[in-house]
Amino acid sequence: MLQEIKPNGRIVANTYDPLRRVTTPASTVGTNLVLVTNAFFLYTNNVTSLTNQFASGNTRVEDVFHNPTSYYYTNNLITNTVDAFGYSSVQIWFPDAATNLAGYYPRSVQR
């Protein structure tokens, strides 16, 4: 989706990289409906084609003021999130073969 027109003439527009990932979303703001870029996505991962099975690396998302939030992931599972203040949130996933653990569900968060 390159552009979507919302009610009252509002617009959401995205630009993409060659791997079809959003790099800069924009939307209209204010009464004059000016289109403004509201985030920036920067990808550093092992994705080299549209057919990669599992992505590992990180994606840095910056808001309109360039405050970053970084998402680290391994095999398509987010493992760590670091916000603009440096606070980190770690996610631990059940291993695929851990069927005997309490609360196990394939590819679900353990804690």
- Pair (10, 44) in one structural domain: no
92 shares its domain with 59: yes
3-state SS, residue 8: helix
- 109 and 55 housed in the same domain: yes
The tens-digit pLDDT sequence of the chain (111 residues) is: 678 888 888 899 999 999 999 999 999 988 888 899 999 999 999 999 998 889 999 999 999 999 999 999 999 999 999 999 999 999 988 887 777 888 888 778 887
How many domains, in total, are found in the chain?
Answer: 2
**Nearest-angstrom CA–CA distance, 6 and 111:** 38
Shared-domain flag, residues 27 and 46 = no
What is the model's pTM? 0.84
17 and 48, same structural domain? no
Closest CA to 33 of 16, 11, 3, 56: 11
As a whole number of angstroms, the distance between CA 49 and CA 101 comes to 35
Look at the block and give the residue holding tokens 């099975």: 53
Q: Are residues 45 and 87 in the same domain?
A: yes
Q: How far is CA 56 from the centre of its chain?
A: 13
Distance in angstroms (rounded) separating the CA atoms of residues 85 and 3: 32
Structural domain harbouring 9: 1-37
Rounded CA gap, 64 and 66, in Å?
Answer: 6
